[in-house]
Amino acid sequence: MQRVQSRFRPAGGAGTSPAFSAAIAFSWREAEQSVAMAGELESSKPLSGLLNGLAQSTFHRHSGITEELLRTQLYPDVPPEEFRPFLAKMRGILKVKKQNYNERLWDFTGDIHSIAYADMDFNQLEAFLTAQTKKQGGITADQAVVISKFWKNHKTKIKESLINQSRWENSLKAMNWRVDLKSQSKHFEQINVPVAIVELELGKNGQESECLCLEFDEIKLSQILKKLTEVEESINTLTNPA
């Protein structure tokens, strides 16, 4: 295991939180084992929280999670000018776009393929994180463990968010329906015809939805179902290629 220089330096000796000290200490090989054992739970909490915060802010588009919030809540003893590069490093590893269009923090250098962008499976993830621990200014072994755990827990949700963000057409937000009996009079006779009334709420990301209200009778409905059966067959062909 190579020695990894952590850029994370405490502002001062006094008043440093135990979690933070542990986070620093285990970057030095000599203290690694004992601190890892003693401080594992403690030291992993802030980083877990940080990764969560990053995910909320960018994958799930939760506004209000600022750099300052993350720092004061999770790493209160670290001054902003030192927190910033650490945050950037973690962002780069997740490949998270900063909300401000002008400030792209992802890293194009070398062969960094970050985790969310590449949608890594777990073998790829292990290899990637191991490589990161060996780099100058990379991450520590314990940080790698936290990141790995985080990705395993959040991968599906993040993927869903990414898919959602790339949907730019209308999507079906909601659907309501009922069946009514419509009274029609024909040649002095009252005929009751059942009709389906369907409300489709269609909308795009971040825009107000439109409500499309449709009415169809039994014949129309069976025509629709026939077409949708074709769709279903197509889906089955995709998932079970012959």
Partner 1 sequence: MSKGSSNHAKLEVTNKLLDLQWKMGMAVSSDNCRSLKSPYVALMLKVADQSGQITNKSFEMTIPQFQHFFKQLKEMAAVIETV
Interface residues with partner 1 (CB under 8 A) are 97, 113, 116-119, 159, 162-163, 165-167, 169-172, 175-181, 194-200, 202, 212-218, 220-225, 227-228, 230-232, 234-235, 238
Residue with smaller CB distance to partner 1, 22 or 158? 158
Distance of CA 30 to the CA centre of its chain: 36
Structure tokens at 71: 């720092």
CB of 197 to partner 1, least distance (A): 6
**Distance, CA of 96 to CA of 11 (rounded, Å):** 27
Question: What are the angstrom distances between the C-alpha of 58 and each of 9, 65, 87?
Answer: 27, 9, 13
Residue with smaller CB distance to partner 1, 45 or 155? 155
**Which residue from 127, 50, 58, 118 is spatially nearest to 90, judged by alpha carbons?**
50
CB of 143 to partner 1, least distance (A): 23
Residue with smaller CB distance to partner 1, 135 or 167? 167
Q: Please, what sign has the CA dihedral across residues 213, 236, 161, 107?
A: negative
Residue with smaller CB distance to partner 1, 166 or 240? 166
**Distance, CA of 227 to CA of 240 (rounded, Å):** 20
CB of 86 to partner 1, least distance (A): 23
CB of 68 to partner 1, least distance (A): 25
